[in-house]
A = this chain, B = another copy of it.
Amino acid sequence: MSLSRFLDLADLAPEEIRDLLALAERLQQHPEPQALAGKILGLIFLNPSLRTLASMQAGMARLGGSSFVITPGQGTWALETRSGVAMDGDAAEHIREGLPVLASYCDALGIRAFAAGRDLAMDVADTSFKAMAELIQKPLINLESAINHPCQSLADWKTLDDLRIAPRTKFVLSWVPHPRALPLAVPAATAHMAALRGHDVVVLRPDGFALPSPVMDRVHAAAKLSGGSVTETDDRVAALKGAHIVYAKEWGSTRHYGDADGDGALRRHLSDWQLNEQSFANATPNCKLMHCLPVRRNVAVAEALLDSPRSVVLHEAHNRLVVQMAVLYRLLK
């Protein structure tokens, strides 16, 4: 089996996902330190990163390959992404030159490009990332786009496998507070992944924070495929009752998308959506807390909960390395 791109879990057949997870497991048990000898991965970060930046470099190195990192606007020219404009502003280079050039220096490329956070329809359609992807003929990895984060989702899937969480169990994606209006990429990707894995997915979010219809449509389609289910609610007590997994995530208001004031006003009274041990009172006893990180302690999730055995956030983060090595292997071997 081989892959040409890793942009969206929805692009993969179920057996391709199973293959990647099995390969990830195999490479953990039986390292292949020369598998990608001579191969080069280019990493383009239009936004900050810790896990992705470190784990992608480490993953290539553990397979014998190399990587280079480009951070436009920081040591590298700022990149223009819009078409047709007269480039008389800050950006010195256009992605139409910058991306193909970088692709020509390496064997595979990874790109991180967060949502612009102004136009909901554009961000939900991943317009900007798709325009970038079209410029690149080489194997390409989505390192988090406006509406997707397939590396995170694959790592989370493996974490659920590692923990032997059965597919037909209650998976609650719970909105949690944050000082700023964060992108929809992780909540959208997480709900989709959980539905695709066959969970009974509950999207728990306050009024004004519903995930956009095209996102939920994808989640419903995935549930239909896998035999899972999907519901949405703002009732925290009902949602958390009997939960096997609570996946905490911050995101901005979709009612006031791109309007920081409207979003801020809506969030002002929601600080009690912070998750703590009490939130798990009616969950299943062994219910786990997941989060993609970074997490704001005592804002999104209480410190004591993050430091308790319920939390599997470090396990998830380590699985980023584990599954990405499988992705790199399938793209480059």
Interface residue A309 (Cβ < 8 Å from any Cβ of B): no
Question: What is the bound-complex CA distance between A48 and B73, given in angstroms?
Answer: 9
A53-B74 contact in complex given A62-B40, A85-B298, A104-B321, C-beta closer than 8 Å: no
> Would you call A101 and B317 a contact (CB within 8 A)?
yes
Given known A58-B105, A104-B318, contact A299–B86 (CB-CB < 8 A) = yes
Cβ–Cβ contact A75 & B97, under 8 A: no
Q: Does A262 contact B (CB under 8 A)?
A: no
Cβ of A49 within 8 Å of any chain B Cβ, yes or no, is yes
Tell me which of B37, B89, B297 contacts A96 (CB under 8 A): B297
List of B residues within 8 angstroms of A298 by Cβ: 84-87
Across-interface contacts of A101 in B (CB, < 8 A): 50-51, 54, 293, 314, 317-318
In the complex, the chain B residue whose C-beta lies closest to that of A97 is B293
Seed contacts A31-B38, A84-B303, A86-B299; 17 additional CB < 8 Å A-B pairs: A42-B54, A48-B75, A48-B76, A48-B92, A49-B75, A53-B68, A53-B70, A54-B106, A55-B105, A69-B75, A85-B297, A85-B298, A87-B296, A93-B295, A94-B295, A101-B318, A104-B317
* 23 pairs of residues in contact across A and B, judged by CB atoms under 8 Å: A31-B38, A33-B38, A40-B58, A40-B62, A48-B76, A48-B77, A49-B76, A50-B76, A54-B106, A55-B105, A58-B68, A69-B75, A71-B75, A85-B298, A86-B296, A87-B296, A87-B297, A88-B296, A97-B313, A97-B314, A101-B318, A104-B314, A105-B318
